[in-house]
């Protein structure tokens, strides 16, 4: 299964790269310097006009931001465009530092574009250090007054590769309503204590690939919201951060199912959790199914394997009422490494809708604390056990 999905992801990349190479000879370049952009200056008007002209060009086009330091305010690059379009960043694009500059949750956005390539060895500096201490992110998980660095809304058949995002004020990258979008060799960096700086958050999107990337941040390295379907994550080095997470789910009405998720061949280091699924208690109905974690290395990770259907930060819910999100067909195969906590495997499911078909195969998680070897805990689940088990398979407990 893992090899098949990997082949699919590589196939998509080859199609996109081959297409780019084939049309390269006819690609028209729109250099922001021709629109008045100068180093160490605000190039918002220049890059906006360059994009408009490139998008209107009836063929393959490329917007180029050369190697230098620039400043860019809030900007939204809109489609549809008349042909394939590339946004090539070779320089450093800096955000306004003052969080009061922003009137919403957007710094740079790409919307309703087909066949977008975002490339280059450049970086996007969100200047988040000016905002984190002034926000309520420690109490409000959504930080609604801080901008997301890069938004991709309704982008299809596209690829983002080689770019770097630093110090976002809120999420680094947000994906919504997208299809056939790949992130390849993306680097994301923010301090471990930076609040709500998820690396890549995905929601209401299908066929999204995150591969061969390095994510170090203060929240989830990759997080999947409702409506995430056919998601493939491979070769991601995560840490520090909060791990790779599905959810939280169930907080809002009419959430769409999460399904067909593969997380393969990743390494998590010094993260607060490993691979987890989290749902709110006292929740609205929902579901998460066909989710598989395989060949994952854990290095000094808190609770490497976690299903938490009692997720309730900041006491925002009635935790005594069970979650109504149905979790089924979940597997953990060949998960190995070290746990910073004694309970290395924790599967706490809903008493209203116990988890179904949860498989644990080839688990080897060591805990070197003074209070004994690693343990497992299971609530409202009867897992399917196979192969080596360290810690020993969890004792089944059902709450009445």
Q: Which residues are catalytic?
A: 242
Which two tokens mark 360?
């644990």
244-272 burial, b for 16+ CB within 10 Å, e for fewer? bbbbbbbbeeebebbbbbbbbbbbbbebb
Give the C-alpha distances (Å, rounded to integers) separating 197 from 173, 271, 301, 342, 387. 9, 14, 19, 27, 37
348-362 burial, b for 16+ CB within 10 Å, e for fewer? bbbeebbbeebebbb
- Calpha distance 240→130 (Å, rounded): 21
- For residue 322, how far is the Cα from the chain centroid? 27
- Calpha distance 79→61 (Å, rounded): 13
Spatial neighbors of 343 by CB under 8 A, at least 6 apart, are: 303, 374, 375, 376, 377
């Amino acid at each position: 299964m893992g090899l098949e999905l990997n082949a699919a992801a590589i196939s998509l990349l080859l199609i996109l790269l081959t297409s780019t190479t084939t049309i390269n000879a006819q690609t028209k370049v729109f250099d922001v310097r021709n629109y008045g952009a100068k180093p160490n200056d605000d190039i918002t008007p220049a890059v906006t006009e360059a994009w408009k002209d490139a998008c209107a060009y009836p063929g393959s086009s490329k917007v180029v931001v050369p190697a230098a330091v620039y400043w860019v305010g809030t900007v939204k690059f809109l489609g549809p465009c008349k042909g394939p379009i590339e946004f090539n960043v070779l320089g450093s694009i800096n955000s306004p530092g003052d969080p009061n500059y922003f009137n919403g949750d957007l710094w740079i956005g790409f919307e309703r574009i087909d066949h977008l390539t975002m490339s280059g060895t450049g970086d996007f500096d969100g200047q988040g250090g000016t905002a984190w201490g002034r926000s309520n992110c420690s109490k409000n998980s959504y930080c609604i007054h801080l901008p997301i660095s890069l938004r991709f809304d309704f982008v299809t058949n596209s690829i983002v590769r080689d770019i770097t995002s630093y110090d976002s004020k809120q999420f680094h990258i947000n994906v919504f309503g997208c299809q056939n979008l790949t992130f390849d060799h993306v680097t994301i960096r923010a301090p471990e204590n930076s609040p709500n700086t998820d690396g890549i958050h995905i929601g209401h999107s299908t066929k999204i690939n995150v591969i061969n990337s390095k994510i170090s941040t203060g929240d989830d390295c990759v997080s999947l919201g409702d409506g995430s379907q056919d998601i493939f994550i491979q070769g991601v080095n995560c840490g520090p951060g909060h791990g790779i997470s599905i959810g939280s789910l169930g907080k809002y009405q009419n959430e769409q199912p999460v399904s067909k998720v593969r997380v393969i061949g990743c390494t998590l280091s010094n993260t607060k959790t490993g691979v987890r699924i989290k749902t709110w208690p006292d929740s609205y109905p929902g579901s998460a199914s066909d989710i598989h974690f395989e060949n994952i290395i854990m290095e000094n990770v808190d609770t490497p394997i976690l299903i938490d259907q009692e997720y309730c930060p900041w006491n925002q819910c009635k935790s005594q009422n069970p979650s109504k999100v149905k979790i089924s067909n979940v597997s953990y195969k060949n998960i190995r490494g070290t746990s910073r906590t004694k309970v290395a495997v924790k599967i706490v499911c809903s008493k209203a809708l116990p988890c179904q078909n949860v498989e644990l195969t080839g688990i080897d998680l060591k805990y070197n604390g003074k209070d004994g070897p690693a343990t497992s805990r299971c609530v409202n689940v009867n897992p399917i056990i196979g192969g080596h088990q360290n810690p020993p398979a969890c004792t089944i407990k059902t709450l009445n």
